[in-house]
Amino acid sequence: MAGDATWTASAPTDPELACPISPVVDIVFSRWTTPILWSLHMHGRQRFVELERRITAITPKVLTQRLRQLERDGLIVRTYHPEVPPRVEYEINELGQSLAPLFAHLAEWAAGNLDKVDLARHDYDARPSTSVIR
């Protein structure tokens, strides 16, 4: 990536501004955001309970928080249906859908490289302990 024009040596010295993709990483790759967006992308409009069933390890409280944040970030739409009982549905919107190529690229990278990461971790963990690095 050294030759990539978007990766320049003239980046600001403020760590928050040094990497132009940091805000995107904070938005898109917060814990539970990717499984929620992936589920909405793959399965379409869903009710809260459907998301809970698909993302089994998430607590209802955290799912509520993440859905609110995704709605606030403009990546999903929450639709309230004033029925008895009330019905709420969530769906990924156009801005959220625009992340699909990024996720597809990451899935492709994962398929081709996660085994290499696992091997590197195994090799690292198998090395004899060395003194503390400062």
Q: How many domains would you assign to the chain?
A: 1
CA-CA distance, 87 to 107, in Å (whole number)?
Answer: 33
- Per the domain annotation, does 12 fall within a domain? no
- Per the domain annotation, does 134 fall within a domain? no
Per-residue pLDDT of the chain (134 residues; tens, 9 = 90+): 444 555 555 555 666 667 888 888 888 888 899 999 999 999 999 999 999 999 999 999 999 999 999 999 999 999 999 999 999 999 999 999 999 999 899 999 999 999 999 999 999 999 987 656 66
Alpha helices in 12-74 (DSSP H): 15-18, 22-28, 33-43, 48-54, 60-72
pLDDT confidence of residue 125: 92
- Quick one: which of 43, 55, 33, 58 has its CA closest to 89? 43
| CATH number, domain with residue 34 | 1.10.10.10
Structural domain boundaries, residue 41: 18-125
- Per the domain annotation, does 46 fall within a domain? yes
- Per the domain annotation, does 74 fall within a domain? yes
pLDDT confidence of residue 116: 97
pTM summary value = 0.75
Instruction: Say if residue 49 is exposed, middle or buried (CB neighbours under 10 Å; 0-12, 13-18, 19+).
Output: exposed
